[in-house]
Structure 1
Amino acid sequence: MRVLSDDDVASLLDLGELLPEVERALRKQGRGETERPERPHFPVGAGLDGEEPLGTGLTMPAYIHGDDHYATKLASVHERNADRGLPTVQAQIVLTDARTGEPAGLLAGTRITNARTGCIGGLSAKRLAPGDGAVRLGIIGAGTQARWQARAIDAARGVERARVYSPSESREACAADLRGAGIDAGAVDSPRAAVSNADVVVTATTATEPVFPGDALAPGTLVVAVGAYTAEMRELDEATVSRAARLFADVPEEAAGTGDFPAHDASAFTPLSAVVAGSAGRESADDVLVVGSVGSAVLDAAAATALFERAVSEHVGRRLPL
């Protein structure tokens, strides 16, 4: 088994190269050429430091037809980790040989998860944002995923400027981090200031209440909501969703189950697979469009496989018997 540490993954990962891999996976998912069982998620940690659960555990398996490996991601979401100086979302990805069932790879998966989720924003901006040049980006949330979204959108489309809002002082650190990545970024003092006059708005939070006023969106804005993945979580208000000329999702049946879209079922969403295949997209420059992303294990499989294959060819990682 080849083991790739987070440093190994970082040395191999390039968003410009990962974007087409995620796009390929979405196309295959749209054609039904994937296996993606329901992902069980369950509360963990009750009884360790009190009666309440400390986080959520998730298991996410997937296989893309024709690939040499399938993937199983073991993920966790612990919202209090920000206070511990740890990532909120953490993961490990196991790759298994699709022909023999032998274990092939164990990859640090947190960076891969963040990058493939960022690529959803990047591909959405590339295909659905108004115009064809660099975009003005509004970001609600200032954690790790906010940074990955901005970097992936910059890699896919270019960012003219980014404005970051979070209720904590982390917005200043996020903006500084993005400036270090070559993006013109600044922190602002309100959600309205972040989203007003933006071409693309990204929400990357763990909120349970709407995080910006929908009436502040300019005509033509693309909204990419990546934070909510349960019925209790919500980032978008009713005004944002009702203004949308069209709703898109990476996994429509799961996006419909989040708190962002309480009045919609899966039939209300156009799959992102149709967007990357070129059969759906923006119809008017003034349309407000909304993308709901809950994440798909298919994207983990695609990203992990691409990085693993590069690791093999470049002799990165450690070979260990199991």
Structure 2
Amino acid sequence: MVRILSADAVRELLSLSELFPVVEEAFVKQGRGEVERPPRPHFPVGIDVDVTRNGIGGTVPQPADAEQQAPLGTALTMPAYIHGREVYATKLAAVHEHNAEQGLPTVNAQVVLTDATTGLPLAFLDGTTITSARTGCIGGLAVEYLAYDPIRLGVLGAGTQARWQTRAIAAGSDVESVHIYSPSDSREACAADLREAGLPAEAVDSPEEAVSDATVVVTTTTSTEPVFDGEWLEPGTLVVAVGAYTAEMQELDPTTFDRAARVFADVPEEVADIGDIRAAGLAESDLVPLSEVFEGVVGREADDEILVVESVGSAVLDAATAEYLYEKARARGIGEDVGL
């Protein structure tokens, strides 16, 4: 039997405060090399699909002389195993940035949990919520370890991850204010949602207004060019960038890196290939593994240091989160068991 954990079930089980130590331990295991984390292939999908038939017509701009229709999205496969655990996980993810125009989530994912001792399938979980939560915890942990009070949060982007980052940061630290900016009207809805959750959030009219007075800046976009000017950062600011994950994507400008005392990365070898790092002329050797922060090896050394945390996401965190949810679901009798 395979246990199905829907998005509603995952949200019912999920506690950010419980998930923090789960994600932190997974980072430490990853840093020590006590995991199996094969390369994660990502590839374009939806090329030459009849978008009119599928009701998505006009969402992807096409060059006038294009012989082949541009892809509708990007698919990723992310497997991982943590040594000593009785389960391993494989996440099947997809990023369709034009989904927002259809009122659909940009990121969709499913996680398959498998028995590491027999290879039998154990569970099929909503991976979209898992991805959002564990990524939120990266920001929450980074702020807990690397920021200083008061936490005045500036968020660039107003989608699902902007909400999760803000909620996770607030779960681990006292947040004095939240300024949300997005070039679309979504910033107003995002701020309203966060206020309903009890957070002091407001929408602002420019990226400079979001960044200039912040002690923590979070970027959660799919941008291909910098979303703010690094000169706007106040001394001591922590920048957490979670949006870019390919060479074509870029959220931070070279000035931000020039001003940074250190740049941390969740997966240095993969972060080295994203647009942020390439545009700044940095290499993998310039990146400090984020796991070293959680092990107390390195951290903030002065209040006026600007620090950057870059995250592309790790399947190890998905595996740890899925295992936590599966064990909790079994203990509480949540989910539906089905035969394959």
Q: Tell me the TM-score range normalised by the shorter chain.
A: over 0.9
Q: TM-score, normalised by structure 2?
A: 0.93
Structure 2, unaligned runs of 5 or more: 52-67
The TM-score with structure 1 as length reference comes to 0.98
CA RMSD of aligned residues (A): 0.8
- Of 277, 289, 302, 1:271 maps to 289
* Counterpart secondary structure, 1:247: strand
User: Counterpart of 1:41 in structure 2: which amino acid?
Assistant: H
Matched, 1:208 2:209: no
Query: For residues 19-98 of structure 1, what are the structure 2 equivalents within 5 Å?
Result: 19-48=20-49, 49=51, 51-98=69-116
Aligned counterparts of 1:68 and 1:280: Cα–Cα separation in 2? 32
Matches within 5 A, 1:173-322: 173-262=189-278, 263-322=281-340
* 1:262-319 deviation digits (Å, cap 9, x = unpaired): 1111110111100011111001100000000000000000111100100000000011
* Larger gyration radius, structure 1 or structure 2: 2
Q: Aligned equivalents of 1:261 and 1:52: distance in 2? A: 26
Overall identity of the aligned pairs, in %: 64
| CA offsets 1:153-186 (integer angstroms, 9 cap, x no match) | 0011121110000000100001011111111000
Q: Gapped runs of 5+ residues in structure 1?
A: none
Answer yes or no: is 1:13 the counterpart of 2:3: no
Distance, in Å, in 2 between the alignment partners of 1:277 and 1:156 is 18
- Name the CA distance, whole Å, in 2 between partners of 1:7 and 1:41: 28
Secondary structure of the residue aligned to 1:264 is: coil
Distance 1:207 1:293 in 2: 15
Secondary structure of 1:261's aligned partner: helix
CA distance in 1, matches of 2:130, 2:182: 24
Q: Find the aligned partners of 1:51 and 1:87 in 2 and give their Cα distance.
A: 22
SS for the counterpart of 1:235 is coil
Deviation of 1:130 after TM superposition, in Å, equals 2.1
Instruction: List structure 1 runs of 4+ shifted beyond 6 angstroms.
Output: none
The CA distance in 1 between the partners of 2:298 and 2:144, in whole Å, is 13
Does residue 129 of structure 2 align to residue 111 of structure 1? yes
- Matches of 2:69 and 2:215 in 1, distance apart? 44
SS at match of 1:281: coil
SS state at 1:270 partner:
strand
1: CA distance between counterparts of 2:32 and 2:275? 28
SS in 1 for 2:248: coil
Find the aligned partners of 1:159 and 1:35 in 2 and give their Cα distance.
Answer: 36
